[in-house]
Chain A
Amino acid sequence: MSNRNIVASMKPLGDSAIIVQLGEGISPTIHELVSNLSTLVNNHKFEGFIESVPAYNNLTIYYNPVVVHHSQKNKVAGHASLTSFQKVSAFMEVLVQQIGTNLALEKRVVTIPVLYGDEFGPDLEYVAQYHGLSAEEVIQLHSGAEYLVYMIGFAPGFPFMGGLSEQIATPRKKTPLLAIAPGSVGIAGKQTGVYPLETPGGWQIIGRTPLDLFLPAISPPTLLQAGDIIRFTPISPEEYYHYKEMKQ
Chain B
Amino acid sequence: MTVNVLQPGLLTTIQDLGRYGSQKYGVIVSGAMDSYSLRVANLLVGNAEGEGALEITLFGTTLQFDKDSLLAITGGDLQATIDGEKAPMWRPILIRKGSILRFKSAINGCRAYVAFAGGIIVPPIMESKSTYLRAGIGGLQGRALRKGDTFECGEMSALNQSFAQQVEEMTEHATWSVNFSALINLQQVQTIRVLKGTEFTRFDQDSQQTLFSEPYTLSTQADRMGYRLEGPALSLADTFELLSESVTYGTIQIPPNGQPIILMADRQTTGGYPKIGQIISADLSSLAQLQPTSTIHFKEVSLEEAENELLKKERLLDELKMGIQLKRLQ
Residue ranges of A at the interface with B (Cβ–Cβ < 8 Å): 11-17, 19, 25-26, 38, 50-58, 60, 62, 65-66, 69, 83-85, 151-158, 160, 196-197, 199, 214, 216-217, 219-222, 225-226
Please state if A157 and B198 are interface contacts (CB–CB under 8 Å).
Answer: no
Please state if B304 and A83 are interface contacts (CB–CB under 8 Å).
Answer: yes
Please state if A15 and B310 are interface contacts (CB–CB under 8 Å).
Answer: yes
Query: CA–CA, A236 to B113, complex, Å?
Result: 51
Tell me the minimal C-beta distance from B285 to chain A in angstroms. Answer: 14
Please state if B25 and A14 are interface contacts (CB–CB under 8 Å).
Answer: no
Query: CA–CA, A160 to B272, complex, Å?
Result: 12
Please state if A214 and B135 are interface contacts (CB–CB under 8 Å).
Answer: yes
Query: CA–CA, A38 to B23, complex, Å?
Result: 13
**Could you say which residues of chain B place their CB within 8 Å of the CB of A225?**
24-25
Please state if B270 and A55 are interface contacts (CB–CB under 8 Å).
Answer: yes
Most buried by A among B243, B247, B281: B243
Query: CA–CA, A66 to B281, complex, Å?
Result: 11
Q: How many residues of B contact A (CB 8 A)?
A: 38
**Could you say which residues of chain A place their CB within 8 Å of the CB of B195?**
12, 14-15
Q: Which of A152, A216, A219 contacts B24 (CB 8 A)?
A: A152
Query: CA–CA, A63 to B58, complex, Å?
Result: 32
Please state if A53 and B268 are interface contacts (CB–CB under 8 Å).
Answer: no
Closest 4 CB pairs of A and B: A153-B270, A60-B246, A55-B245, A14-B278
Residue ranges of B at the interface with A (Cβ–Cβ < 8 Å): 20-28, 125-126, 134-135, 137, 195, 198, 243-248, 250-251, 268-270, 278-281, 303-304, 306-307, 310-311, 314
A26-B243, A154-B270 known; A197+B24 contact, CB < 8 A: no
Query: CA–CA, A217 to B27, complex, Å?
Result: 13
| Tally of A-B Cβ pairs under 8 angstroms | 135
A53-B269, A158-B26 known; A65+B246 contact, CB < 8 A: no
Q: Closest A-chain residue to B305, C-beta based?
A: A15
Please state if B135 and A57 are interface contacts (CB–CB under 8 Å).
Answer: no
Q: Closest B-chain residue to A81, C-beta based?
A: B304
Please state if A13 and B198 are interface contacts (CB–CB under 8 Å).
Answer: yes
Tell me the minimal C-beta distance from B225 to chain A in angstroms. Answer: 12
Please state if A66 and B135 are interface contacts (CB–CB under 8 Å).
Answer: no
Tell me the minimal C-beta distance from B181 to chain A in angstroms. Answer: 21
7 other contacts beyond A19-B198, A155-B135, with CB at 8 A cut-off? A12-B303, A13-B248, A14-B278, A15-B303, A51-B20, A62-B248, A156-B22
Query: CA–CA, A149 to B304, complex, Å?
Result: 37
A–B pairs, 25, beta carbons within 8 Å: A13-B251, A13-B278, A14-B280, A14-B306, A15-B278, A51-B22, A56-B245, A58-B245, A60-B245, A62-B23, A65-B281, A65-B307, A66-B314, A69-B307, A85-B303, A152-B269, A154-B26, A157-B25, A160-B244, A197-B134, A199-B134, A216-B135, A222-B25, A225-B24, A226-B24
Please state if B303 and A83 are interface contacts (CB–CB under 8 Å).
Answer: yes
**Could you say which residues of chain B place their CB within 8 Å of the CB of A151?**
244, 270
Query: CA–CA, A20 to B49, complex, Å?
Result: 31
Tell me the minimal C-beta distance from B39 to chain A in angstroms. Answer: 13
A153-B244, A155-B268, A160-B244 known; A15+B307 contact, CB < 8 A: yes
Q: Closest A-chain residue to B123, C-beta based?
A: A217
Query: CA–CA, A159 to B282, complex, Å?
Result: 33
